[in-house]
Amino acid sequence: MAKDRKDLIVSTRPWNYEEAVKVGKELMKQYHKLSLSVVRELYAAREALSHTGVRKDLVPNGTRLISFEDYLNAIGVAKRTAYNWLALYEPKEDRLLTPEEYKAKKIVEFEKLIKLLRPDYPEWRPDGWSEACERYYRSKLQEDRYSLIARQEHFEQLDLFNRHFFENLQAPIASPEDILHFSELKEKIKPIAYPGIPVQKQTHAVMLIEKVIRDFPEKDRKGVAKALAEATMLIAMEEI
């Protein structure tokens, strides 16, 4: 039924630029927001002007061809807004997509573009690739990495998600013994502390490491401490 109505509009009212501008201006005054009537007019204008060309330079006879952007300027709607609205329009069904339908449509487009990527040129991107597509691709890669690690490491058994462990690490210094230890540790660190960073902040980091080491059996703590020191050096040298 909607398709018949659309065909009737097209057949009884041939597209005319001056008339389209007049109608478009009036619609913009009435709505100033997305509506099916507005998008119909935008779609009809874009289709009509795409057949006559979109060159903006002067043609040999001195006349200037009208573009879709000229039309948008004439009716007072921003180009970006117009194209965002048009992306929601399904001309065959003469309706606007729901947010869920639009998202699904974009994902299908992104997936097709992702299939064109070449492993031998990881930085290359095909035509039509957008910032939104790049964000989707990066999030997809991250999800794939999470999934792989979860299968390999059985995350449900790891202390990474042990709430008690994190709560213990975040517990504030409260006892007199802790305060005294902090003061003594701060004096020990001073000679080797990294310049330009408050010694107090570096002492907090060392105490955090101490708490982590205490979570291991007492007989293994020295070995773990040495291993963590070496691992920290690897991080500093950007080897991991």
The tens-digit pLDDT sequence of the chain (240 residues) is 444 444 434 444 677 888 878 777 777 666 555 678 888 889 999 998 886 554 545 445 545 678 899 989 988 888 988 898 898 899 999 898 888 898 999 999 999 999 999 988 889 999 999 999 999 999 988 888 877 766 665 555 555 555 666 666 666 555 677 778 888 888 998 999 999 999 989 988 888 888 888 888 999 999 999 998 888 888 888 754
Residues 121 and 87 in one domain: no
pTM listed for this prediction: 0.46
Residues 16 and 88 in one domain: yes
Instruction: Please tell me the total count of domains within the chain.
Output: 3
Pairwise CA distance, residues 236 & 240, whole Å: 9
Residues 35 and 120 in one domain: no
* Helices and strands of the chain, counted as H and E runs: 11, 2
Residues 6 and 90 in one domain: yes
Residues 145 and 194 in one domain: no
**What's the domain range around 194?**
162-236
Residues 166 and 199 in one domain: yes
- C-alpha dihedral sign at 43, 48, 52, 56: negative
Pairwise CA distance, residues 200 & 179, whole Å: 12
Residues 147 and 124 in one domain: yes
State whether residue 95 is helix, strand or coil. strand
In sequence order, the β-bridge partners of residue 96 are 89
Residues 173 and 192 in one domain: yes
Per-residue b/e over 51-65, b at no fewer than 16 CB within 10 Å? eeeeeeeeeeeeeee
Residues 182 and 228 in one domain: yes
Nearest to 113 by CA among 92, 96, 91, 135: 135
- In terms of phi and psi (left: phi > 0; alpha: psi -120 to 50; beta: otherwise), the region of 37 is alpha
Pairwise CA distance, residues 65 & 67, whole Å: 6
Long-range contacts of 33-42 (CB under 8 A, 24+ apart): 34/85, 34/88, 34/96, 36/94, 36/95, 36/96, 38/85, 39/85, 39/86, 39/88, 39/89, 39/96, 40/6, 40/9, 40/89, 40/94, 42/77, 42/82, 42/85, 42/86, 42/89
Residues 14 and 77 in one domain: yes
At 11 the pLDDT is 44
Residues 139 and 199 in one domain: no
Residues 125 and 70 in one domain: no
Query: E-strand spans in the chain?
Result: 89-90, 95-96
Pairwise CA distance, residues 208 & 202, whole Å: 10
